[in-house]
Amino acid sequence: MSTHASHKKRTGLMDWLTTVDHKKIGILYLLSGGFFFLIGGLEAILMRIQLIKPENDFVSAEMFNQLLTMHGTTMIFLAAMPIIFAFMNAIVPLQIGARDVAFPYVNAVGFWLFFFGGVLLNMSWFLGGAPDAGWTAYAPLSTVSAGHGVDFYVLGLQIAGAGTLAGGINFLVTIINMRAPGMTFMRMPLFTWASFVTSGLILFAFPALTVGFFLLMFERVFGAHFFNADMGGNVLIWEHIFWIFGHPEVYILILPAFGIISEIVSTFSKKRLFGYSAMVFATVLIGFLGFMVWVHHMFTVGLGAVANSIFAVATMAIAIPTGVKIFNWIFTMWGGQIRFTAPMLFAVGFIPTFVMGGVTGVMLSVPAADYQYHDSYFVVAHFHYVIVGGLVLGLFAGLYYWYPRMFNRVLNDTLGKWNFWLFFIGFHLTFFPQHWLGLMGMPRRVFTYMSGQQLDTSNFVSTIGALLMGAGTIVLFINIIISASKKNIASADPWDGRTLEWAMPVPTPEYNFAQTPLVRGLDALYVEKTAGNGKMTPAEPVGEIHMPNGSILPFIMSVGMFISGFGFIYANWYAAGGGLGIVLITMFLRSVIDDHGYHIHKEEVEADIKGGRA
Amino acid sequence: MADHQQKSDKTVHRHEALQKKLALKEERKHHNVSFIMMILLTLVAFYAISSDKIGDSFAVMFILVLAVVQVFFQLYIWMHLSHKGHEFPIWGMASGILIAAITVASLMGMIWTS
Amino acid sequence: MHADERLTDANFPDHPEKATLEGKNKFLGFWLFLGGETVLFATLFGTYLGLRNMHMDGPAGEEIFKLPMVFVATMLLLTSSLTSVYSVLAMKQNRVKAMQGWFIVTLILGLAFLGLEIYEFVEYVHEGHTFTSSAFGSAFYTLVGFHGGHVLFGCLWIATLLARNWNRGLTLVNAPKYYLFALYWHFVDVVWVFIFTVVYLMGKVG
């Protein structure tokens, strides 16, 4: 049977470059996403230092434009999305009782494309200046921007975006096809549901962005005229395409955070999630409505009262399913045995903070009022409340919660609480005053302001808050270093978990489940715990397990894309063609080399079970 | 007895094979019919545009309808969306078409102010 | 039975493309990919429709589009879609030679379509309708070119697939690959249906 089981065990760096294991890819996503998160955070702090006092000259206006563009772009595409993919990779297959994702090889391709796209984009700092047209890259600002900054933006994000799209399809198929016996859709944990909907949004939102980037690239590199009014172009095409992608994108970001919060609130309240089916329905509904509201970013464009009204009403409607979620989290905690561990603290801090961001969102959805708020610091305050106060707090919560499963160590809870309070207080200090700044007329994206306009104090407080957030993040890194230096391995189920990712020993065996588990209800592990079993009932006898082989091709393919990206940026057609040639060759090799993976023998699995390793 | 069993197994098998063959033959017929239909639809569309007898604005609506009909032939007959086990593909295509429709509508209708 | 063993008439499953989990995953994943491609092409169509009258000093679509050539191209692609369906039917009956034959016809028709498209583009450029002549030019070549790029990729794909599996018959590993190619090819034809309708026919009436 296993005649072709020629399986080389790779070690060290080569293992990480060739891995197709979703658990390792999850760690790769987390490390690179975390790295870009630090860079994006540093850019934010530099901007805040510039704004600490009126008419400051800490950075130049040009530098400020690059910092604000790269901060937004990095945080959205290179920090938030990869960290979300980190948790999806590390946790979703475990939560549905699968041994891997549907396309392990494509998973690796997706990661390396994101990685090299991100590196390409950041190379711009060293090669004549970063993009400076804002993360939205509105035409004609982006089409006339001098230098190569915006070219780096277009090609870096195009490459990273291709990786994201591949990841989205992968998780959709994984969740549809690879669920363990008994794991019906309505028994899936909320994080898996959120990942499912998010992947769907990626599938239908990213192709629009792909085209948008192609148009911008053709305009800048090949002299096309999509956005050039002199030649019959129209800049609104870019705005529509960007926001047809861009609005679903913010739900792509926030839904997984909703999922994480749902898991944590339920676990640390020792109660099943209140209103599970309503939560699922709300998640799907938010995903659907997310596609119907993009014009609220363009209220001041002048599309007319009818268009503005329709999109205003659609936008307000999103508050309803979101409100359902907020109440369900509160009702889940109601009467529960709440344990305020670090992850729970982040989750509880998330709820009121996100509500505040939601409320300003409804304010902004009124077109008449939006004319006042548009492009002011009020908008900056709003989206940081939902993205930092919502998503980032959710990601911190998820990190503390799933860290034992991903890295086999528990993070120190006291340091975690320091992390939370520093970050949480710093966050509100930073962004709450920005509401006033906006209402008082301070426009967003300005590199300085005059004194005597009553903007000084709020800006000063805001900068202090940003430094506190930075301090909170440093505490997290101290915590990680301390946990890594300790010898003791986490227990398999440190939080008294309810879902399947806590049903196997630590470290997680490479095949996840020695025997595919039989799921007998929502909160599959908790069902077994209350039934007195304490562990999952297997759905199959112990047998041979089929595993995919690692491959270096995803890495090489992404290097090819990286080279080709440089070629297009500098209009060097040899490099552009050569890079694409490498991509085509790796695709060709992948299709002509037979690779059927290898098998882990029944005896090895039995030995693992006996030794407590599986 | 065992021999008898085997024999009836064989007939069942042959019967199944025959049924499968008939089904495939039926399928081939469907494919051929839809091919002819698609050619006809294309011809009608080209004629509607080339002919002077049909008004332009009507012709545009008409050929768009023909295109949609042709796409349904492709999706449901040639790409087998009508077969069992295509629930998720139908969901995927339907969602894609919905987003596609609003994208086209907005880029057509919301970029030039009147 | 092993996934890469040659299938025989005796053990031939009803749906060889979906007989393994890998096959099922590929089948579903590819359909979802096509859903995403629908949005991709819709964005290109939307851009084209928004800009199609903006030909500035260059020729308008009405003046340059040659319907007979477009009709021939349409027939080529439509027929190739039928031949790829014949391939899938042959595949379901384990008639490997017939399947390969129909796929080769598909490939040839695809290449003929590409040749015609290149000829057409060269003609247009001579008449002053270029990628940079106007917003209409940019949008036209981007939309039609993206479709042409898809046809080219499909030709490379089926050629590789046929060459690699020429002597291997049908297996549970390669059956899903053939099936996916056929889906892809139909989709490319679907896009063309809208291109000849929206770009060429509607271009003729302004």
Per-position b or e across B33-67, b if 16+ CB within 10 A of its CB: ebbeebbebbeebbebbeeeeeeeeebbebbbebb
Question: Which of left, alpha, beta for C127 (phi over 0: left; psi -120 to 50: alpha)?
Answer: alpha
Residues B51 and B97 reside in one and the same domain:
no
Residues B17 and B61 reside in one and the same domain:
yes
| Dihedral Cα C60, C61, C64, C70, nearest 10 deg | 180
- Calpha distance A111→A107 (Å, rounded): 6
Q: Which residues, 6+ apart, have CB-to-CB distance to A397 below 8 Å?
A: A260, A261, A264, A343, A344, A346, A347, A350
Alpha carbon of A505: minimum distance to chain C alpha carbons (Å):
27
Alpha carbon of A231: minimum distance to chain C alpha carbons (Å):
5
pTM for the model: 0.95
* C-beta atoms surrounding A34 within 10 Å: 19
Verify whether the Cβ–Cβ distance C47 to A237 is below 8 Å.
Answer: yes
Six token digits for residue A498: 């309810």
pLDDT of residue B1: 44
CATH number reported for the structural domain that contains residue A428 in this entry:
1.20.210.10
Residues B28 and B56 reside in one and the same domain:
yes
Q: Which residues, 6+ apart, have CB-to-CB distance to A358 below 8 Å?
A: A319, A322, A386
Residue C65 sits at φ, ψ, to 5 deg, of -60, 135
pLDDT of residue A4: 45
User: Domain extents for chain C?
Assistant: 16-205
Residues B64 and B88 reside in one and the same domain:
no
Eight-class DSSP state of A230? G
- Calpha distance A438→C82 (Å, rounded): 61
Give the number of C-alpha atoms closer than 13 A to the C-alpha of residue A452, restricted to the C-beta side.
Answer: 0
Q: Which domain holds residue B106?
A: 84-114
Residues B56 and B74 reside in one and the same domain:
yes
pLDDT of residue A3: 40
- Calpha distance C165→C180 (Å, rounded): 15
Among the partner-chain residues C37, C39, C160, the one whose CB lies closest to the CB of A588 is: C160
Subunit partners of chain A (3 or more CB pairs within 8 A): B, C
For residue A568, being part of any structural domain is answered with no
Which residues of C are less than 8 Å from A214 in CB distance? Answer: 142
For residue A577, being part of any structural domain is answered with no
Alpha carbon of C145: minimum distance to chain A alpha carbons (Å):
12
Return the residue of A nearest to C32 by Cα.
A169
Chain C interface with A: residues with Cβ < 8 Å: 2-4, 21, 24-25, 28-29, 32-33, 35-37, 39-40, 43-44, 46-47, 50-51, 54-56, 131-132, 134-139, 142, 156, 160-161, 164, 173, 177
Verify whether the Cβ–Cβ distance B38 to C89 is below 8 Å.
Answer: no
Q: What 3 state SS string does chain C have?
A: CCCCCCCCCCCCCCCHHHCCHHHHHHHHHHHHHHHHHHHHHHHHHHHHHHHCCCCCCCCCHHHHCCHHHHHHHHHHHHHHHHHHHHHHHHHHCCCHHHHHHHHHHHHHHHHHHHHHHHHHHHHHHHCCCCCCCCHHHHHHHHHHHHHHHHHHHHHHHHHHHHHHCCCCCCCCCHHHHHHHHHHHHHHHHHHHHHHHHHHHHHHHHC
The residue count for chain A? 614
Which of A286, A282, A296 has the alpha carbon at shortest distance from A246? A296
For residue A300, being part of any structural domain is answered with yes
- Calpha distance C152→A372 (Å, rounded): 51
Residues B79 and B90 reside in one and the same domain:
no
Residue A343 sits at φ, ψ, to 5 deg, of -60, -40
Verify whether the Cβ–Cβ distance B103 to A244 is below 8 Å.
Answer: yes
Q: Which domain holds residue A465?
A: 12-503+529-539
- Calpha distance A402→A93 (Å, rounded): 14
For residue A600, being part of any structural domain is answered with no
Provide block-wise average pLDDT over 10 residues at a time, chain A (614 residues). Answer: 55 92 97 97 97 96 97 97 98 96 97 98 95 95 94 97 97 97 97 98 97 97 95 95 97 97 97 96 96 96 93 96 97 96 97 97 96 96 97 98 96 97 98 97 96 94 97 97 88 95 94 95 95 89 93 97 97 96 95 90 93 86
Subunit partners of chain C (3 or more CB pairs within 8 A): A, B
Among the partner-chain residues A203, A240, A291, the one whose CB lies closest to the CB of B110 is: A240
Among the partner-chain residues A218, A592, A596, the one whose CB lies closest to the CB of C164 is: A592
Q: Is A252 on the interface with C (CB under 8 A)?
A: no
- Report angle CA B17, B23, B24 to the nearest 5 degrees: 90
Alpha carbon of C173: minimum distance to chain A alpha carbons (Å):
9
Verify whether the Cβ–Cβ distance B79 to C183 is below 8 Å.
Answer: yes
Please tell me whether residue A58 adopts helix, strand or coil conformation.
coil
Given a cut of 90, whether residue C5 has pLDDT beyond it is no
Six token digits for residue A260: 């994480």
Return the residue of C nearest to A237 by Cα.
C47
Given a cut of 80, whether residue C141 has pLDDT beyond it is yes
**B12-65 per-position pLDDT tens digit:** 677 777 887 888 888 888 889 989 999 999 999 999 998 888 888 899 999 999
Q: How many domains does chain B have?
A: 2
A376 forms beta bridges with A443
Verify whether the Cβ–Cβ distance A208 to C39 is below 8 Å.
Answer: yes
ipTM: 0.96
Verify whether the Cβ–Cβ distance C39 to B103 is below 8 Å.
Answer: yes
Verify whether the Cβ–Cβ distance B110 to A241 is below 8 Å.
Answer: no
Which residues of A are less than 8 Å from C139 in CB distance? Answer: 226
Residues B21 and B60 reside in one and the same domain:
yes
Q: Is A281 on the interface with C (CB under 8 A)?
A: no
* pLDDT mean over B65-82: 90
Looking at domain C16-205, its CATH superfamily turns out to be Cytochrome c oxidase, subunit III, four-helix bundle (1.20.120.80)
Q: Is B21 on the interface with C (CB under 8 A)?
A: yes
A451 by Cβ neighbours in 10 Å (0-12 / 13-18 / 19+) ranks as exposed
Alpha carbon of A547: minimum distance to chain C alpha carbons (Å):
12
Which residues of A are less than 8 Å from C25 in CB distance? Answer: 102-103, 173, 177-178
- Calpha distance A203→A198 (Å, rounded): 9
Which residues of B are less than 8 Å from A200 in CB distance? Answer: 95
The percentage of chain C sitting over the pLDDT mark of 90, rounded to a whole number, equals 86
A599 forms beta bridges with A546
**C103-139 per-position pLDDT tens digit:** 999 999 999 999 999 999 999 999 999 999 999 999 9
Return the residue of C nearest to A215 by Cα.
C142
Pick the residue of A185, A211, A244 with the most B CBs within 10 A to test the interface with B by mutation. Answer: A244
Chain A interface with B: residues with Cβ < 8 Å: 176, 200, 203-205, 208, 234, 236-237, 240-241, 244, 291-292, 295, 302-304, 307
Among the partner-chain residues B99, B110, B111, the one whose CB lies closest to the CB of A291 is: B99
Which residues of B are less than 8 Å from C38 in CB distance? Answer: 93, 96-97, 99-100
Residue A549 sits at φ, ψ, to 5 deg, of -80, 150
Six token digits for residue A122: 């950041």
pLDDT of residue A5: 47
Pick the residue of C197, C198, C202 with the most B CBs within 10 A to test the interface with B by mutation. Answer: C197
Residues B76 and B99 reside in one and the same domain:
no
Assign B6 a pLDDT band (cuts: 50, 70, 90).
Answer: low
Q: Is the bond preceding residue A507 a cis peptide, omega within 30 degrees?
A: yes
Six token digits for residue C100: 């390969």
pLDDT of residue C125: 95
pLDDT of residue A97: 96
Among the partner-chain residues A178, A219, A232, the one whose CB lies closest to the CB of C134 is: A232
Return the residue of C nearest to B62 by Cα.
C197
Contact A442, A448 (CB under 8 A): no
